[in-house]
Structures are given as structure tokens and as C-alpha cells.
């Protein structure tokens, strides 16, 4: 904590001298890295920072609301909230191929962000939540497919205050800056978000079902001491229905797949041994509370031979 405070003090000084009285733009996803960069810059330059939060409709339940609550309401940041849900979902309609979906989400994100940037006057800097592993990985070994990548035609000078830190260090700094634990210790979440967990062509009803079932899974993991222990856990929903029976009648509903994995570097992963009783309880909650879901499955496959995500 003392080291974190020293780092923060040092960065505030450096940021102030680099930025002066100019304005800085930041794409604030609500993930750990961009949130810590935002909190640092708010301390250093206050309203000279303009945060843009793009809601692409593929965020987890409560995330856009939390970004607004923490940054606008609590930290009094200059925050532009962009509701781009329809725009993304319209572009994604009828596109079943995972890589095409990723490309659309990535491109649309850059377009929305660039449009917002062009509306603003006098921005000279672009802040980014680049961390040290991003620099190590950008040598082409792993294709970098993070949403929020730099719009290349924006002519801004870069501000990357956590680029020499590892993830664990970023979390310590975030905590010292007063960010909430569920933001700082958040599990990894892919840039394309729920878009790659609503399998095949995204539809709004299945997207809602994946969001609601994910919220139940997270709530139950938190209640049962698995949050912070399991590396990544989420739900996915396939694009076919299964037959079920409700109140004596044959019904058709979506299956929901639960996944809970542990890993060090995401290159290989093992499956968490989730207590059976808890799985049964989660199944009961999801089938009772999530509309149009009548079946729950638990994915027992390690990586390899499966990947962590379903697409
Ligand atoms: P896979 O499915 O390849 O996932 O075993 C390994 C880790 O990477 C995350 N992931 C992504 N992250 N954009 C991201 O920012 C993506 O397109 C993407 N695809 C997978 C995944 O959640 C897991 O942590």
C-alpha cells in the first residue's frame, strides 16, 4: 500500500507536468485497467479528463450503471455515456461467425469512439490502460483483439500511466485510489463481452438470458466464497432450443451452459470442482428466474482441448 501511494504521488506529478492545462480523452470500459487510469487521471487533472463509456449492449448486468455511479456520481468525473446498444445489435444481427462478430464489435467500437472524439474540442491526449503484459504480448505472438484498441487516425499523444505495471500491481493501485473491490478484483471479461457468449447470431432474447444467468452465477459464486477463488466463470447460451416440460406441458426453451475455470495464463485451464449442491441450486434459480430457459449444463472440459470461451 505504501508503494502504491508512492506510485500514485509520482504519477500525479508526472501526469500534471506532461498534460499541463490540456484535455485528455479516455475510453472507459469499466474494466480494471481503464478504471485505474481514470481514477489516477481524475486525481491528477480532474475535469480535464473526458471519459467516454460506450455501452455496446454486451456488458454484464449492472456494469454501465456502476461506471456511471463510481465515476460520475462518486468521483465527479467528466463522463460521456454513449448508449450504442441498438447500433451494435443491428450490425450483429444475422452474423453467426465468431470472428466476424469480433471484427464487427471491434470496428463499431472504434467508430463510435471516434465519432465522440470528433465532437469534442481541444483534446490533445489519449489515455490508455496499457499494462506491461500488453507490451510484452504485442510482438505478434498473440493477436491482440481487445475492444478499445487505439483508433489509429486520431492524432493524439498517448498517456499510459500504468504501462509498466503487472495486473496485480494495477489492482493494488486501484484499491489505494478508492475504487470498489468488485471493480478492482474483477474476473477477466473479453472485450467482445457477452457477444461471444450468446453463441451464433445474437438475438436480444438470448442476450438477456445470458446476461441474467451470468448475474445469478456471479451472485451465487460470491455468496459461496468462490468469487476471487475461481479465475473465470460465466454462462453461455447456444442458438438452439431444447424440449422441456412446464406445468405438464411440453415447452421449448434455451439451454444455459455454466463454465468455471482456473488458469495462470489462459493458455491452458482446468475446470473448477464446483460443489454439486451449488450447481443444483444455480440450476434451479436460472430455470426459475430467467425467461425462456429450461435447461442448465455444466461444461467439464479443460483447455485444451476446449478453449475457455465457447467461440
Ligand atoms: P480462450 O477462449 O481463447 O480464452 O481460451 C482465453 C482468455 O481470453 C479471453 N478472450 C478474449 N478477450 N477479446 C478479449 O479481450 C476476445 O475476443 C477474447 N476471446 C477470448 C477469454 O475470456 C479468456 O479469459
Q: What pLDDT does 152 receive?
A: 61
User: For residue 43, how far is its CA from the centre of ligand 1 (angstroms)?
Assistant: 32
Does 35 belong to an annotated binding site? yes
Task: Tell whether the model's pLDDT for residue 137 goes beyond 80.
Answer: no
Which atom of ligand 1 is the closest one to the Cα of 188? 24
ipTM of the complex: 0.99
Mean pLDDT score, 3-7 = 96
Task: Tell whether the model's pLDDT for residue 139 goes beyond 70.
Answer: no
Mean pLDDT score, 77-86 = 98
- Rounded Cα distance between 24 and 5, Å, is 23
Q: 2-184 in CATH: which number?
A: 3.40.50.620
The per-residue pLDDT of the chain, averaged, comes to 94
Task: Provide the residue ranges of all domains of the chain, joining segments of one domain with +.
Answer: 2-184, 197-298
Does 273 belong to an annotated binding site? no
> Can you read off the three cell numbers belonging to residue 253?
426453451
Q: Which of 132-141, 160-169, 268-277 has the lowest mean pLDDT?
A: 132-141
Does 153 belong to an annotated binding site? no
Task: Please work out whether the CB of residue 197 comes within 6 Å of at least one atom of ligand 1.
Answer: no
User: For residue 61, how far is its CA from the centre of ligand 1 (angstroms)?
Assistant: 19
Task: Please work out whether the CB of residue 101 comes within 6 Å of at least one atom of ligand 1.
Answer: no
Q: What pLDDT does 190 receive?
A: 96
- Strand, helix or coil for residue 61: coil
| pTM across the whole model | 0.94
User: For residue 231, how far is its CA from the centre of ligand 1 (angstroms)?
Assistant: 13
Q: Under CATH, to which class is 197-298 assigned?
A: alpha beta
For residue 19, name the pLDDT band (cuts at 50, 70, 90).
very high
Among 266, 271, 306, say which to mutate for ligand 1: greatest number of ligand atoms within 8 Å of CB.
266
- Rounded Cα distance between 86 and 93, Å, is 10
Burial of 198 (0-12, 13-18, 19+ CB in 10 A): buried
Q: What is the dihedral of CA 149, 151, 157, 161, to 10 degrees?
A: -20
Task: Please work out whether the CB of residue 193 comes within 6 Å of at least one atom of ligand 1.
Answer: no
- Rounded Cα distance between 44 and 34, Å, is 15
Task: Tell whether the model's pLDDT for residue 154 goes beyond 70.
Answer: no
Task: Please work out whether the CB of residue 187 comes within 6 Å of at least one atom of ligand 1.
Answer: no
Cell 499494462 sits at which residue?
A: 131
Query: What does the DSSP assignment read for 155-168?
Result: --EEE-TTTT--HH
**Pure H helices in the chain:** 2-19, 32-45, 63-67, 85-92, 98-119, 132-137, 167-176, 181-184, 204-223, 276-289
For residue 290, name the pLDDT band (cuts at 50, 70, 90).
very high
Q: What pLDDT does 174 receive?
A: 98
Q: What pLDDT does 242 receive?
A: 96
- Atom 9 of ligand 1: nearest residue by CA position: 190
Burial of 196 (0-12, 13-18, 19+ CB in 10 A): buried
Do 2-184 and 197-298 agree at the fold level?
no
**pLDDT tens digits along 164-190:** 999 999 999 999 999 999 999 999 999
**pLDDT tens digits along 207-258:** 999 999 999 999 999 999 999 999 999 999 999 999 999 889 999 999 999 9
Q: What pLDDT does 1 receive?
A: 79
Which atom of ligand 1 is the closest one to the Cα of 263? 24
**Bond prior to 109 in cis (omega within 30° of 0):** no
Please report, rounded to a whole number, the percentage of residues in the chain having pLDDT higher than 90.
91
User: For residue 93, how far is its CA from the centre of ligand 1 (angstroms)?
Assistant: 22
The angle subtended at Cα 277 by Cα 271 and Cα 296, nearest 5°, is: 65
User: For residue 146, how far is its CA from the centre of ligand 1 (angstroms)?
Assistant: 9
Amino acid at each position: 500500500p505504501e508503494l502504491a501511494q508512492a506510485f500514485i504521488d509520482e504519477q500525479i506529478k508526472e501526469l500534471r507536468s506532461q498534460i499541463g492545462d490540456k484535455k485528455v480523452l479516455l475510453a472507459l470500459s469499466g474494466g480494471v485497467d481503464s478504471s485505474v487510469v481514470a481514477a489516477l487521471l481524475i486525481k491528477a487533472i480532474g475535469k480535464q479528463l473526458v471519459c467516454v463509456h460506450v455501452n455496446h449492449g454486451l456488458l454484464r448486468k449492472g456494469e454501465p450503471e456502476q461506471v456511471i455511479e463510481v465515476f460520475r456520481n462518486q468521483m465527479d468525473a467528466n463522463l460521456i455515456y454513449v448508449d450504442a446498444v441498438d447500433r451494435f445489435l443491428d450490425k450483429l444481427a444475422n452474423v453467426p461467425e465468431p470472428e466476424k462478430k469480433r471484427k464487427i464489435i471491434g470496428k463499431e467500437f472504434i467508430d463510435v469512439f471516434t465519432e465522440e472524439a470528433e465532437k469534442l474540442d481541444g483534446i490533445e491526449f489519449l489515455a490508455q490502460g496499457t499494462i506491461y503484459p500488453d507490451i510484452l504480448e504485442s510482438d505478434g505472438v498473440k493477436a491482440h483483439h481487445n475492444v478499445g484498441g487505439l483508433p489509429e487516425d486520431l492524432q493524439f499523444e498517448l498517456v499510459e500511466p500504468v504501462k509498466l505495471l503487472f495486473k496485480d500491481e494495477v489492482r493494488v493501485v486501484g484499491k489505494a485510489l478508492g475504487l470498489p473491490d468488485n471493480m478492482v478484483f474483477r474476473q477477466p471479461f473479453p472485450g467482445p463481452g457477452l457477444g461471444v457468449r450468446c453463441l451464433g447470431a445474437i438475438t436480444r432474447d438470448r442476450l438477456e438470458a445470458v446476461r441474467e444467468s451470468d448475474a445469478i452465477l456471479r451472485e451465487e459464486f460470491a455468496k459461496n466464497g468462490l468469487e476471487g477463488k475461481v479465475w473465470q466463470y460465466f454462462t453461455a447460451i447456444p442458438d438452439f432450443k431444447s424440449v422441456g416440460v412446464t406445468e405438464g406441458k411440453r415447452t421449448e426453451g434455451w439451454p444455459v451452459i455454466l463454465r468455471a475455470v482456473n488458469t495462470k495464463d489462459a493458455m491452458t485451464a482446468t475446470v473448477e470442482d464446483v460443489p454439486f449442491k451449488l450447481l443444483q441450486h444455480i440450476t434451479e434459480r436460472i430455470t426459475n428466474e430467467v425467461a425462456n430457459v429450461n435447461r442448465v449444463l455444466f461444461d467439464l472440459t479443460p483447455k485444451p482441448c476446449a478453449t475457455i470461451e465457447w467461440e
